[in-house]
């Protein structure tokens, strides 16, 4: 545990075990060894608990995660991770130089803006409910955007000397917090992550760290029991 | 013009007049009164100039914008805007306090992650070319996500004392750089922006400033001549 003034105020994370965006924040919290209360929001039960009035008051976007820190309500996974980094600077999720910070943010956003939002639950529900798109076609869509996005990410990382054991240098950071959940998602849709050798290598380095394993979907209190 | 060391290195923006993401960066550059060379990338001509090998080497994501600063290649509009803010801190695009920064980033990401990527050109091309979705249905899709996203943004802004003449306080910043292009886009698809009174009010405050007008699609060198 870190000991700073911030520690006197509790952290509460509204999360869903399989949400890619919540998974990012759980990794950040674990890397910084911050204790928090986990409040599950079941995205499929009760017509989607994220749509309930109580949760909507917390987040009008009706999406997870939300982090509550004392009386502060924080939304959007990348904004939350930057907030954690500003309040608890060590270990840093972003490098110290402007150029490195821009690189890491761009890698994170290539996932968080250009892959994940196209494939999340509400989009797949739209296709099913509004357009009656068959499941096989919905999965083709998901794989198309994961494939497009991760091929670009592989190209951005593979030949760049700034890439190290992790996305940026030899310590995990913001980009790794986004990469690992996205690869988890790729695997869920039957994709072979070895198609992107640099990403697969970085994922192995991440998953060797306890923080990433603690944050994993299957390790969450709201994950269904293994059969 | 600001006078700092950074000024000795030229800025070059790869842009398309109607790209919402490029528009954001143009607003940021204009707010900071930074001179730059504008390199148009026509997203529809030649099968999409963003897919040409030369551009792909600059940005494997094959998306605009890219900002080149000296030898540094910067990608992703929000990462670029934060970079500008770190290199040229005045006028600031982000507030000084961690809580305010988190709020502004979340507002910006509510647009840049959860509205825009669902509606951009490559997605609409996928629907047309892969699924033969008729134009009317494609427009229903666009309006659905703009409507969902901007209603949430309105709720996030309307009752929050941190909202001022602009999204955060009484000076324009990162969230406004995202809001104005998204409202431009809403109007393109025939939506009445007065449905979101706080957003419409902030848009008026923004468009009263020369920086926002300079950055507007119709003011770009690559915009088609008005008929």
CATH for B5-91, options being 3.40.50.2300, 3.40.30.10, 3.30.2350.10, 1.20.1260.10: 3.40.30.10
Q: How many CB atoms lie within 10 A of CB B171?
A: 14
CB contact (8 A) between residue B76 and residue A117: no
pLDDT, one tens digit per residue, over B204-217 is 999 999 999 999 99
The two beta strands, A37-40 and A66-69, are unpaired
| Amino acid B1: pLDDT | 44
A90-98, long-range: CB < 8 A, 24+ apart:
A90/A2, A90/A32, A91/A31, A91/A32, A91/A171, A92/A171, A92/A173, A93/A28, A93/A31, A93/A173, A93/A174, A93/A177, A94/A173, A94/A174, A95/A168, A95/A169, A95/A173, A98/B83, A98/B86, A98/B87
Minimal CA separation from B206 to chain A, in Å: 23
Q: A194 pLDDT band (50/70/90 cuts)?
A: very high
**Positions in chain B short of pLDDT 50:** 1-3
**Which of B53, B109, B152 is the best residue to mutate to test the A interface, defined by the most A CB atoms within 10 Å of its own CB?**
B109
Percent of chain A with pLDDT over 90: 95
Mean pLDDT across the stretch A163-186?
98
Count helices and strands in chain B by DSSP H and E runs: 10, 4
Indicate if A98-214 has the same CATH topology as A5-91. Answer: no
Mean per-residue pLDDT for A133-156? Answer: 98
Q: Look at residue B2 in the predicted model and tell me its pLDDT.
A: 47
Percent of chain B predicted with pLDDT > 90: 95
Q: Is A132 on the interface with B (CB under 8 A)?
A: no
A105–B contact, CB cutoff 8 A:
yes
**What CATH class is the domain B98-214?**
mainly alpha
| Contacting residues of A for B137, CB less than 8 Å apart | 131
Q: Which residues of B touch A111 (CB under 8 A)?
A: none
* Interatomic CA distance for residues B128 and B130, integer angstroms: 6
**A9 and chain B in contact, CB less than 8 A:** no
Identify the closest residue of chain B to A147 by CA–CA distance.
B61
Domain spans of chain A, in order of start:
5-91, 98-214
A86: closest CA of chain B, how far (Å): 6
B86/A98 Cβ within 8 A: yes
Provide, as residue numbers in chain B, all residues whose Cβ is less than 8 Å from the Cβ of A86.
98, 101
Q: Does B78 contact A113 at a Cβ distance shorter than 8 Å?
A: yes
- pLDDT band, residue A227 (cuts 50/70/90): low
* Residue in B101, B114, B144 closest to A117 by CB: B114
- Rounded CA-CA distance A151/A168 in Å is 17
In chain B, residues with a C-beta closer than 8 Å to the C-beta of A76 are 105-106, 109-110, 113
Tell me if B152 and A61 make a contact (CB, 8 A cut-off): yes
CA-wise closest residue to A174 among B121, B130, B189, B82: B82
Find residues 193-212 of chain B whose CB sits inside 8 Å of chain A: none
- ipTM for this prediction: 0.96
Query: Is A102:A52 a contact under the CB 8 Å cutoff?
Result: no
Determine contact: B98 vs chain A, CB below 8 A: yes
Interface test with chain B among A53, A60, A86, A108, by most B beta carbons within 10 Å? A60
Of B82, B117, B151, the CB nearest to A102: B82
- Over residues B14-43, the pLDDT tens digits come to 999 999 999 999 999 999 999 999 999 999
């Amino acid at each position: 545990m870190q000991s700073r003034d911030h520690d006197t105020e509790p952290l509460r994370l509204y999360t869903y075990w399989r949400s890619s965006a919540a998974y990012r924040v759980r990794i950040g919290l674990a890397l910084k060894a911050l204790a928090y209360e986990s409040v599950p929001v079941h995205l499929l039960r009760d017509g989607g608990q994220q749509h309930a009035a109580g949760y909507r008051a917390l987040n009008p976007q009706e999406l997870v995660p939300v982090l509550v820190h004392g009386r502060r309500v924080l939304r959007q996974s990348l904004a939350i991770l930057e907030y954690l980094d500003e309040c608890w600077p060590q270990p840093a999720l972003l490098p110290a130089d402007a150029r490195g910070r821009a690189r890491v943010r761009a890698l994170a956003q290539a996932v968080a803006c250009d892959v994940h939002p196209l494939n999340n639950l509400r989009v797949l529900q739209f296709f099913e409910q509004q357009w009656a798109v068959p499941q096989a076609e919905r999965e083709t869509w998901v794989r198309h955007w994961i494939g497009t996005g991760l091929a670009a990410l592989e190209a951005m990382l593979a030949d760049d000397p700034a890439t190290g054991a992790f996305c940026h240098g030899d310590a995990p950071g913001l980009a790794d917090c986004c990469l690992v959940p996205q690869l988890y998602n790729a695997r869920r849709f039957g994709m072979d992550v070895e198609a992107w050798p640099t990403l697969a290598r970085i994922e192995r380095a991440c998953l060797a760290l306890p923080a990433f394993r603690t944050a994993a979907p299957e390790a969450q209190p709201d994950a269904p029991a293994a059969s």
